[in-house]
Amino acid sequence: MPTPFEYLQSLNRLVHEPARLAILVALSACEKADFLFLLNITGLTKGNLSSHLSKLEQAGLVVIEKKFEGKTPVTYIRLTLEGKDALKEYWQSLEKVRTGIRHLKPLRTP
Amino acid sequence: MDRTGLSLVRFVASRYRQLQGLGRVVDAVSLLLLWSLLTTEPANGGPLWFAGAMVVWASLTLWGLARVGRYYRERFGRTASTADSTAGSGSAGEVMLFVWMSMVFGGFFIPLLATYAAHVTWRDWPYRAHWMLLALHGTVFTIAYPGLHSPALFALWNSRFVLTAAPVIALVGLLDHRLLVRAMHRAAEPTPDTEHADTI
C-alpha cells in the first residue's frame, strides 16, 4: 500500500499550484466564467491569470472562448471534462494523504 | 489560498448572480414605489391613471435592474451558472413574487416568503445567515396575520408589512452585496504565492 508521502508525490502539480487550483475550483462551481470574474475572484494580475490559463488550456483542462456580446469582447473560460476529472482526482489524492497521515504512528525516540 | 478561501471562491462562483444584492435594493424601492402608487391613487383617477402609474413603475424598476446588472458585469465580470439558473435568478424573483402575491392576495404568501428565506439561510449557511432576518420578518407577520374579516385591520397590517418588508429586503440585499465585494476584495489581495506565475 502506498504511503501518504507517495500519494503526496503523485499529486497533479498542474492542479496543485494554489492560483490554478483557485481557478479550477471557481470554474467547477459554474458553467463558465469570464476573464474579469476570474481576475477578481483569484486576485491574480492579468498577466499571471493569462499565463495560468494558457497552461491549463495546453493541458486540456479548460477551454477558452472569445466572443462578442454586443460590441464588447468577452473571453469565457470553461472547464473541460478532463479538467473536472483532474480536479476530482486531485481531491481524492488529497483525501488519501489526509487519511494516511491520520493512521501514521509517531516514531519512538530512544 | 487556504481551504476557507477556496470554499468561499466556490460559493461565490456558484451563487454569483444571487449575491448581486443591489438588485434587492432596487426591488425594495420598487415595492415602496408600487405601494405608494396604489395607496395614493386619486378618487377620480380611473384606469388611465392606473395604467400610467404601472408603466412608470415598471419602467423605473426595469431601468434600475438593468443598471445594477451592468454594474456587476463591468465591475466583477460574468458567469453562467446552473445553480443560479435553476435555483432562481438571485432569489430576487421568488422573494418579490411572494411579496407581490401577498400584497394582492391578502398575505397568504407570506409563509412561503418566510420558508423560502429560511431555505436560503440553511442552504448557504454560514455565508448568507442574514437571510434569517427575512425569514424572521415573514414569520412575525404570519403570526400577526389578522385575517380578512376586518378590512381596516388588514389594511393596517398590509401597510406595516410593506413598510417593514422593503427595508428588510434592502438590508438583506446590501449584506449580500457586501459579502460579494468582500469575497472579491479578499481574493484580490495579492499573496506571495499568487504574485508570480510558476514555471510548470
Q: Tell me which fold the domain A4-98 belongs to.
A: Arc Repressor Mutant, subunit A (1.10.10)
Domain locations in chain A?
4-98
Nearest CB to A40 within list B76, B83, B190: B76
Percent of chain A's residues with pLDDT above 90: 60
Kindly tell me if the per-residue pLDDT of B135 is higher than 90: yes
* Partner residues linked to A79 by β-bridges: A62
Run of H or E residues at B60: helix B46-76
Is the complex ipTM higher than 0.90?
Answer: no
Q: B53: which residues sit within 8 A by CB, 6+ positions away?
A: B37, B41
pLDDT value at B169 more than 50 = yes
Query: Of A2-6, A9-13, B84-88, B161-165, where does mean pLDDT reach its minimum?
Result: B84-88
Question: pTM of the predicted model, to two decimals?
Answer: 0.83
Report the pLDDT value the prediction gives residue B185, as an integer from 0 to 100. 65
Residue B127 in grid coordinates? 455565508
Query: Does residue B163 belong to the interface with chain A, where contact is any CB pair within 8 Å?
Result: no
Is residue A58 within 8 A of residue A51, CB to CB? The reply is no
Give the C-alpha separation, B121 to B124, whole Å.
6
Q: What percentage of chain B exceeds 70 in pLDDT?
A: 74
Query: Number of helices (H) and strands (E), helices first, in chain B?
Result: 9, 1
| CB distance B39 to B159 below 8 Å | yes
Neighbouring-strand partners of residue B135: none
Residues 18-37 of A with CB under 8 A from B: 18-19, 21-22, 25-37
Predicted local distance difference test score (pLDDT) of residue B75:
93
The answer to whether A30 contacts B13, with C-beta atoms less than 8 Å apart, is yes
Residue A33 zone, left/alpha/beta (φ > 0; ψ -120 to 50; rest): beta
Joined together, the cell numbers standing for residue B100 give: 407581490
Range from A59-68, A99-108, B96-105 carrying the lowest mean pLDDT:
B96-105
Backbone φ and ψ for B41, nearest 5 degrees, come out as -60, 125
Residues of A in contact with B184 (CB under 8 A): 40-41
pLDDT tens-digit map of B35-80: 888 787 676 667 888 888 888 888 998 999 999 999 999 999 999 8
> Which region among B85-94, B106-115, B148-157 has the lowest average model confidence (pLDDT)?
B85-94
Contacts of B198 in chain A (CB under 8 A): 17
Are A15 and A87 spatial neighbours (Cβ–Cβ below 8 Å)?
yes
Q: Which has more confidence, B146 or B13?
A: B13
**Residue B193: strand, helix, or coil:** helix
Q: Does B14 touch chain A (CB under 8 A)?
A: yes
pLDDT-derived band at A102, boundaries 50, 70, 90: confident
Residue A37: which of B79, B195, B197 has the nearest Cβ?
B79
As a whole number of angstroms, the distance between CA A63 and CA A31 comes to 12
d(CA B70, CA B75): 8
C-alpha to C-alpha distance for A31 and B72, rounded to whole angstroms: 18
| Interface touch B12/A21, C-beta < 8 Å | no
Name which residue leads in pLDDT, B51 or B187.
Answer: B51
- Comparing CB atoms, the residue among B80, B186, B191 nearest residue A32 is B80
Q: Where does residue B88 fall: left (phi above 0), alpha (psi -120 to 50 degrees), or beta otherwise?
A: left
Q: CA-to-CA distance for A13 and A23, rounded, in angstroms?
A: 14
Check residue B87 and give its pLDDT.
42
Q: Is the CB of A43 less than 8 angstroms away from the CB of B191?
A: yes
Residue percentage of chain A with pLDDT more than 70:
95
